[in-house]
Amino acid sequence: MNATQSKPTDGPIRRVLVANRGEIAVRIIRTLKRLGIESVLATSVADRDSMAARMADRSVCIGPARATDSYLRIGTLVEAAKGVGAQAVHPGYGFLSERSEFAAACAENGIIFIGPTAEQIERVGNKLEARRCAEEAQVPVAPGGPVEDMSAALDMAEKIGYPVLIKAVGGGGGRGLKRANTPAELKSLFELAGSEALAAFGDGRVYIECFVTQGRHVEVQILGDGVNIIHLGDRDCSVQRRYQKLIEEAPAPNLSDEMRHELHAAALRFSRHIGYRSLGTVEFLVDMERQRFYFLEMNARIQVEHPVTEQITGLDLVEEQIAVAQGQPLRLSQGDVRLTGHAIECRINAEDPAHDFRPAPGKISSAHFPTWEGIRVDTHIEAGASIPPFYDSMIAKVIATGDTREQARRRLQAALSEVTVEGVHTNVSLHREVLATPEFTAGGIDTGFLGRFLADRATAVTSN
């Protein structure tokens, strides 16, 4: 067994340190409670009175409010896990979930990391290495490659044609990502992209890829035990603002059967090539004009949008993560996976769309989410809750499920009309507008849709 791969416990996991906050911490704790596993929440000073802290069987404060002093301190979290006698750590998403050093530190201290191996996290976290793995697995990659300096970047862009994307080697999420339409723009953005990448990931290297003018962001959910690997269907995440997802749905609408099958097969080839263990998501860019797709990246963790997959498969993905982490073989074969109906998720953020979506921290004076049939709400807020300024602005996810996409869309529209969050600005009204557009209703929009929608909306407001 590799030194940085967590070994199974001598028995079932009895206690888990949840190394995260917000709605994903609440989500994980709920599954732990159902499984009869004790939960210990690692919490910053700002989150000591949070819903997750009250739900957990126990909580331990790991530091001040700022993430760099609490949720991002590997040594502190490992010592916390050891101190409370936790056999395992669940990292959730964000923070340290894709830091190989955290997975390795857990393994070195005899703590199970509920996720992939440190080597796998390292391998897919380096975008150039992931791209190389995709090529080895015969998964299509976008034209482009690594560049060491401005001259090489200009040569690469000239070779593949403008527009191009400058992308960070060490991470994603829109940081260090720039679009250049001309050589002049490439010159002005190249160093900026590298600086952003260095600040965000500690790695200033970038690479160049062609920009697909009309593309869809489609991803495939993977579950593996290191030997057996299956897919749990696909999702569409094309409603994005500045490369940040806002609305996700499963399955991806308006894909041909051939394209869907090829995406699933490519995701499995990539995952099997690296012997993937745990949950993971292989992400693709679908070129709508050419009806081709390219590998984007693999996220080695549970995704924010995992509820839509749960809704159409009937699975608890956190439970499956835990089973694999304990050393169990997959409890499902590909033939056991049944995809039923359609699910759409909206991310509710504490932000002000009227002022360039700036974050809107504050205190929640009242909050109401509908509890209707076909509606699921994942949240950590309630009346009296505080939204700190130190973390991501997402405060809830509202998910609608239906027998058809249109039924799910209508249910989600109706549910959002009943959502009330007072005390802070939110993007609920924006979601209602987007869901009502003819483009979203038809399905299969491209990643540029929301930018065009917001531009048209701003023009209409100005003209009036």
**Catalytic positions, written as ranges:** 301
The closest alpha carbon to 220, from 277, 163, 270, 151, belongs to 270
Q: How far is it, in rounded angstroms, from Cα 211 to Cα 444?
A: 19
Residue pair 293/214 in contact by the 8 Å Cβ criterion: no
Cα 139 vs. chain centroid, distance in angstroms?
Answer: 21
Across the beta sheet with 88-90, the strand order is: 58-63, 38-44, 15-18, 88-90, 112-113
> Tokens 């509202």 identify what position?
398
CA dihedral 394, 58, 300, 116 (to 10 degrees): 180
Q: How far is it, in rounded angstroms, from Cα 41 to Cα 196?
A: 32
Q: How far is it, in rounded angstroms, from Cα 243 to Cα 51?
A: 29
Q: How far is it, in rounded angstroms, from Cα 88 to Cα 90?
A: 7
Write the DSSP string, 94-149: STTTT-HHHHHHHHHTT-EESSS-HHHHHHHHSHHHHHHHHHHTT--B-SEEEESS
Residue pair 58/38 in contact by the 8 Å Cβ criterion: yes
The closest alpha carbon to 401, from 320, 307, 334, belongs to 307
The closest alpha carbon to 423, from 352, 357, 346, belongs to 352
Cα 159 vs. chain centroid, distance in angstroms?
Answer: 32
Q: How far is it, in rounded angstroms, from Cα 464 to Cα 461?
A: 5
